[in-house]
Structure 1
Amino acid sequence: MVENNSAVTSQPAGFARRTLFAGSTAVAAVAVLGTVAPAQAAGAVFRHGVASGDPLPGAVILWTRVTVAEDAGPGSGIGDATAVRWEIATDAGFGAVAASGTVTASADTDHTVKVDATGLTPGQDYFYRFIAHGETSPVGRTRTAPAPDDEVDRLRLGLVSCANWEAGWFGSYRHLAARTDLDAIVHLGDYLYEYGRGKYTGRNGAVRVHDPANEILTLTDYRTRHGQYKTDPDLMALHAAVPFICTWDDHESADNSWRDGAENHDPATEGPWVDRKAASTRAYLEWMPVRATRADGEVQIYRRLRFGTLAELSMLDLRSYRDEEAGPIAGWRHADDPSRTITGRAQMDWLTAGLTSSPTRWKLVGNSVMVAPLVFPPLEAATTQAITEALGIPQGGITVNGDQWDGYTADRTTLFRAITDNAVNDVVFLTGDIHTSWAADLPLNSANYPGGPTVGAEFVIPSVTSSSVGDLLKMPARTASVPAEEAIKAANHHLRYVELDSHGFGVLEVTATQTQMDWFYVADVTDPATGVRHGASFAVPAGGRLEPRPAPIL
């Protein structure tokens, strides 16, 4: 259940010109969070840890799940209702409690608890905990967003996507949790995977196995799978260390999902899509620290978060409203169809209105599938219109992946035109989905790059564990994939960086002068103690285009 509670004590003064998550509070957080493994600290009642999310200037979502009995596990649908006390404080010892309250956890919400703790101070570090059945949860750390008019020096975000339990260990989460400089984690989708046991693994098979064993279809199934993922110690540590800002992609429901179905859903044997979608949505909203329901009761996960005058982050939902992906042959004839949509009309209007009216320096877009054109070869529209009409090849070239914005070019044109027509600067798309790493300028017409106008840049992060191109090739890293990377860049000049092998995460730093993405890669997803290395860095100067950087920002 979600509760609003604004019993607040007085707090320190404002946030202007501060760096987020700085100072002694972060040091205290290390002492609290870094000395006990979350799986040990969770105990019998709070065995799924704690989490926070969607920080606003005066509020943040707090989350946990209580296990009221051994047989009342996730998805069981049983167990008595129980009172759960929550507290949020400005100090790790909870001597200065800022807000508190009591909520009821019941089987109706799978014994999950979501509290919208309100009345908080903007730009403030906080610690939070839950108490139930005589046990106190692990202590989590979170932070509210700065006030809208605060001048923030820096915003630093961790970026992750595509974490497949069976493909490996979540070392990327562990390395992010060890940092003390992050203001939030942006999860760009595929937080979990729906496949049955052994149906989608890594290059060496299943490192660990999914629960339940079957492909998840029902509310019980989705709850069980969410519960399993929340027991991963590295994911638990990251949730406890920093607030999450999430959107879903397809695997939170089913592969290649769209408005009325999914490629990985057969109504004849798996029942109506509307039932499966409702089950996956309900479980997601129960188990994730997100605000996703409108005042009229309709679920809406696209939303906007602001960080002072520095940046505004628009999180998209590119699954709930899209038309079905067109196939690789017939799809070439339909990619330019203006009636086809990936966003839906209401979300597109919301997105373009937000970008064109934003008062912040940077306009960030949390985007679950790649927006940059990826085609072979890019065709110049003025001289290839006859070929386009005769063969059905989109004017941008032959689409490689119709699941991306390439399969919905009319929507992309509408978005890009809104940006250029309104002279919007400093737009950066943050993307997951394709298990590989990319940095791209976003040309209005890719065939005219670099001479023509660009509308912004895109940073695509690799998967946490899900199979990369290199995994699928089953060749040693940085061998067969390297010529493929060079061929892709040769055919798509706006793609400035492509890395097809590695798993890992991104760290994005936003300042008034530039936005820089640092890619970090883990050594081996099959090793729970894997190390990490810096892979590459690119930055977008304010008003400019992508530039390589020699080192990460530390």
Structure 2
Amino acid sequence: MNRRHLIGGLVAAPLVLRFSQARADGAYVFPLGVASGDPAPDGFVLWTRLAIDPVAPDGLGGMGGPAAVRWEVAADEAFRRIVAAGDVAADRTSAHSVHVEIEGLTPDRPYWYRFTSLGQQSPVGRARTAPAPDADIDRLRLAVASCSNWESGYFSAYGHMADEAPDLTLFLGDYIYEYTRTAAQSANVVRPYGLEEATTLAGYRNRYALHRTDADLQRLHAAAPCLAVWDDHEVHDDYSGVWSKTPGVTPNDFLRRRAAGYQAFYEAMPIRRTRLDARLQMPIHRSVRYGRLAQFFMLDGRQYRSRQACSDGPNGGKGQVITDAACLDRLDPARTFLGFEQERWLYEGLARSDARWNILGQNLVMAGLRFGNGDAETRYWTDTWDGFPVARDRMTEALVTLRPRNPVVLSGDYHSFWTNDVKRVSADPSSQTVATEFVGTSISSSGPPHEALMAQMPENPQIKFFDSRVRGYVSIDVERDRMSTRYRTISDVRDPRATVSTLNSWVVEDGRPGAVAA
């Protein structure tokens, strides 16, 4: 016990227990459940957050001063063999959230964990360590989710994901939505947020807290560790780097709002220790290895990128679809989607990787969707990689040059299923296929107009499949010789007991980029 499991920032039990206890008045202090994430061969991150009034206006969950929290990790579900334990303080500075980075465990096996505070015990969660870096494992099951809008429907998809017992869950952005629908839009509200638009730390904290009260989401987090990245709605719709899409909002003003959103994301997610720096940046891109089978590169496609192409005025504002001829800015090689530092980090990682499958988990469609035949009148949705075609070509050229084995891109954001060939030259759909892309539909958010987009498919042969009419998630089995992907759909987003079915299935074979229908 207690071998190499305490990290910097954890406080020894005697010191914690001298702190004044946060008042709970008998209310349950673990209504937001538990979670684990960022697995390594010898451990993972454990998370919980104490609260007795999860959406209290001040964003502090109704808690008072610091509270001592005991955490335990066991080799069995009954906790007869506890292999690591310790104490940490939960306080107001992090909204009484707890992050514990566990080390010293055995690779590639399940563990169970729980927390105790103020005389109460949390639900039990199940985590799993990653395999040793050189382990030759046979299979890895993934569940992939994005875009869960509380107002748009229930999170029954999360419950079905938990039922599939994944080894790892990927959250690819829009875990929350910052806005609340207006009274004129109330006909589309299944369950109201009951909160003002999030612009402050308290507002963002309460969005996460409300989502975490959902039983299906709690069950998924308790079932398996996760890897999570953000997209735009964790801060503000369609923002790009330090620029808001709202005309007149200066980068300095927007940075304060963005910092609040990032801080709340960290407090709510089981990710490894990170913090806002002097520039109000918070690094979250990272690489996670699963033996020789898979290497994950979790990317941040919002924080470091250039301003939206052809934004109006010095401080932002943009049209969502623009013509190529009117916007030479879109083709500027100085523009970046990931930020040049993150680009270098990714290319260096791909060059070193000897994994059989190299999986890029990121927020936005990479393969592209053009509205036209590529001539001067063709339009592009510039919030995606289509707004950064030169940066995308740098990425695809790196895949050709570095030759990582079996690159596969997993994406979210567009509230629809896509199966794509990622082409070497973004402007030429007939060019070499260098990677496969699977885009998952939303957990609950409404999809874009299906028929209008289907009418564009003849001009987009790189898109093998598209459907925006259904909600759900992606289920993937990664094996040595193939990756098998299923698009899972729920029967009715307005039904908390919705059933699940498979829309279709796809296979990528080892050494052959591009998916085929199963």
TM-score, with structure 2 as normaliser: 0.88
From 36, 60, 71, the equivalent of 1:76 is: 60
Residues 462, 425 of structure 1: alpha-carbon distance in 2 compared, 3 angstrom cutoff: same
**CA shift at 1:109, angstroms?**
0.9
Aligned residues: 484
1:10-25 alignment to 2 at 5 Å?
none
How far does the alpha carbon of each residue in 1:64-122 deviate from its partner, in whole angstroms, 9 at most, with x for none?
A: 11136899787138502110000011100111111110000111110111111111111
The residue aligned with 1:165 is 150
Counterpart position of 1:89:
74
Work out which of the residue numbers 347, 362, 365 in structure 2 matches 1:367: 362
Deviations 1:158-184 (A, max 9, x none): 00000000000001101111223x111
The CA distance in 2 between the partners of 1:364 and 1:69, in whole Å, is 39
Q: Among 352, 360, 367, which residue is 1:357 paired with?
A: 352
Preserved CA contact (<8 Å) 1:439 1:460: yes
What is the RMSD computed on CA atoms of the aligned residues?
A: 2.7
| Contact 1:312/1:358 (8 A) holds in 2 | yes
Quick one: distance in 1 between partners of 2:151 and 2:228? 21
2:274 to 271, 290, 293: 293
Matches within 5 A, 1:329-344: 329=323, 332-344=327-339
**How do 1:420-431 residues align onto structure 2 when only pairs under 5 Å count?**
420-431=400-411
Structure 2 residue 184 is the aligned partner of structure 1 residue 205: no
1:108 counterpart = 2:84: no
Determine the structure 2 residue equivalent to 1:194. Answer: 178
Per the TM alignment, residue 296 of structure 1 is displaced from its structure 2 partner at its CA by 8.1
Distance 1:171 1:72 in 2: 26
1:240 aligns with 2:222: yes
| Cα distance in structure 2, aligned partners of 1:43 and 1:428 | 46
- Corresponding residue for 2:5? 6
Map 1:318-329; keep pairs closer than 5 Å.
318-326=301-309, 327=319, 328-329=322-323
Task: Give, in whole Å, the separation in 2 of the partners of 1:349 and 1:142.
Answer: 32
Partner residue of 1:120? Answer: 105
Checking the alignment, whether the CA contact within 8 Å between 2:149 and 2:444 is kept in structure 1 is yes
Which residue number corresponds to residue 135 of structure 1?
A: 120
What aligned pairs does 1:238-277 form with structure 2 within 5 A after superposition? Answer: 238-264=220-246, 267=249, 272-277=253-258
Q: Assess, with a 3 A threshold, how the Cα gap between structure 1 residues 70 and 192 changes in structure 2: closer, same or farther.
A: closer
- In structure 2, how many angstroms separate the alpha carbons of the residues matched to 1:489 and 1:507? 25
1:70 and 1:232 map into 2 onto residues whose CA distance is 12
Secondary structure at 1:52's aligned position in 2? strand
Does 2:418 correspond to 1:438?
yes
Q: What is the deviation of 1:323? A: 1.2
Q: What is the SS of the residue equivalent to 1:469?
A: coil
- Distance in 2 separating the partners of 1:280 and 1:4: 35
| SS of structure 2 residue aligned to 1:173 | helix
Gaps of 5+ in 1: 9-41, 380-386, 471-480
Corresponding residue number in structure 2 for 1:231: 213
Letter in 2 for 1:93: A
* Residue aligning to 2:263: 282
Q: CA deviation at 1:262?
A: 1.9
* C-alpha distance in structure 1 between counterparts of 2:362 and 2:328, whole Å: 25
Structure 1 distance, partners of 2:183, 2:358, is 39
| C-alpha distance in structure 2 between counterparts of 1:273 and 1:142, whole Å | 37
Query: In structure 1, how many angstroms separate the alpha carbons of the residues matched to 2:372 and 2:188?
Result: 35
Give the distance between the partners of 2:394 and 2:188, measured in 1 at CA. 42
Picking from 407, 414, 437, the partner of 2:387 is 407
Partner of 1:476: none
Partner SS for 2:192: coil
Task: Say whether residues 1:496 and 2:493 are aligned partners.
Answer: no
For residue 159 of structure 1, give the secondary structure of its aligned residue in structure 2: strand
What is the CA distance between 1:545 and its match in structure 2?
A: 3.5
- CA gap of 1:177–1:254, structure 2 versus 1, over 3 A, is same
Take 2:84 and 2:514, find their aligned partners in 1: how far apart are those partners? 44
Give the secondary structure class of the aligned counterpart of 2:334. coil
The answer on 1:525 being equivalent to 2:499 is no
Q: Distance in 2 between matches of 1:70 and 1:276?
A: 21
Amino acid at match of 1:539: V
Q: CA deviation at 1:258?
A: 1.4
2:455 corresponds in structure 1 to 487
Using the TM superposition, give the Cα deviation of residue 287 of structure 1 relative to its aligned residue in structure 2, in angstroms.
1.0
Q: Report the identity percentage.
A: 37
From 446, 453, 456, the equivalent of 2:435 is: 456
- Larger CA deviation: 72-81 vs 350-359: 72-81
State the AA in 1 paired with 2:265: Y
State whether residues 74 and 110 of structure 1, in contact with CA within 8 Å, keep that contact through their aligned partners in structure 2: no
* Mapped partners of 1:446, 1:108: distance in 2: 45
Structure 1 letter corresponding to 2:271: V
